[in-house]
Amino acid sequence: MHPDWIKFLRYDPFPILLNSGDLAVQHLTRNDLLDERLDTPGILWVLPEVEKIINKQKSSGCWVYPQRGKSAHPTENYDLLQTYRTMGILIEMYGMDKSHPAIARGAEYLLNHQTEEGDIRGIFGSQYAPHYTAGMLELLIKAGFGQDSRIKVSFDWYENTRQDDGGWAWPLRTTKVSYQEAIEMPIPVKSDPVQPFSHALTGFVIRAYAAHPEFRKSPLAIKAGKLLKSRFFKPDKYPDRRAAEYWFKFQYPFWWGNLLTVLDSLSRMEFPPEDPQISQGLEWFQDNQLEDGSWPTGYGHGPKSDMDKIWVSLVVCRILKRFSL
């Protein structure tokens, strides 16, 4: 029997999810959407594709970023970026957590790059990366590190680095300092707090708050959530992903903030679906569902794009279920 929330949709998404041929998608569909509550989450951890990823992990806990050319700046640590992205695959797509040694090692590698201020630094040399820090926090919390004292330090840093309007922005954009100039600096550029927030970046940051059962309820997080929903379908204030079309560019595991990621966060934060702005966002998914039951990602065509579309569709269904439509 299909759940009640499926009545919100024009087409049944379960056939394409259950017949995807991907064991992880099928497992998560049955567990998360159909409430079968499968007792063998570790079954995904021993898949050949997972073992292939784990075998590439270095003894330090990192995964090495591929194809760094001679033009790379010596202060940029893109292994930190690659470790974050790889952890995202293992945690989000295969349900791995801190009980697995590879996740534990990867988490320590990430947290070893946490500064005294609280941010995780190194991808951009001495410069802040509030978006990537939040993405790492989100994964660490989902993997079971939410009560680690270092996580709270990072949330304290976010509280102290907001724009005056309550959102976040990349400091280099608010000060108009070029990346080429900033990467040579020994200390990070501080944000100009009077400048407006970036919804693309704030959509990244709010995911960390939404993942944490305590911080998702904070007035700070609620205010940021309200700011985000007020920006649905509008261009960003800054050059990075400025065009309104980026609201409809979906990826999984999540990357930049978009309509999918923001609704996922707001559903975890228990915003009501009756809210006019949230309702408008949900109606976009109702109106743009494809006849095969899936949703477009806004990116390309081909086998990889087709699989990305299925993962995105799984997330859309999770959101609809969470909102209890």
Q: Give bridge partners of residue 120 from the DSSP assignment.
A: 114
Residue 318 domain flag: no
- pLDDT per residue as tens digits for the range 127-165: 999 999 999 999 999 999 999 999 999 999 999 999 999
- Confidence band (pLDDT; 50, 70, 90) for 126? very high
Whether 94 is covered by a domain: the verdict is yes
Residue 24 vs residues 155, 191, 207: alpha-carbon distances, Å: 31, 41, 22
The answer as to whether 19 is a domain residue is no
Q: Is 210 within a domain?
A: yes
Closest CA relative to residue 167, chosen from 256, 244, 230: 230
Assign 325 a pLDDT band (cuts: 50, 70, 90): low
- Neighbour count for residue 293 (Cβ, 10 Å): 19
Kindly state whether residue 278 falls inside one of the protein's structural domains. yes
Give the residue from 191, 188, 186 showing the smallest Cα distance to 201: 191
Is the Cα dihedral 147, 150, 153, 154 positive or negative?
negative
Is residue 54 domain-resident? yes
Amino acid at 117: E
Give residue 71's pLDDT.
Answer: 58
Confidence band (pLDDT; 50, 70, 90) for 94? Answer: very high
Q: Is residue 189, in this structure, part of any structural domain at all?
A: yes
Query: What total of structural domains would you count in the chain?
Result: 1
pTM: 0.95
Domain assignment of residue 200, given as a range: 45-147+159-287
Residue 39 has pLDDT above 70, yes or no: no
Is 190 among the domain residues? yes
Read off the pLDDT of residues 95-119 as tens digits, 9 standing for 90 and up: 999 999 999 999 999 999 999 999 9
Token digits for 203? 């959509």
In a 3-state reduction of DSSP, which class is residue 120?
Answer: strand
pLDDT of 215-244, one tens digit each? 999 999 999 999 999 999 999 999 999 999
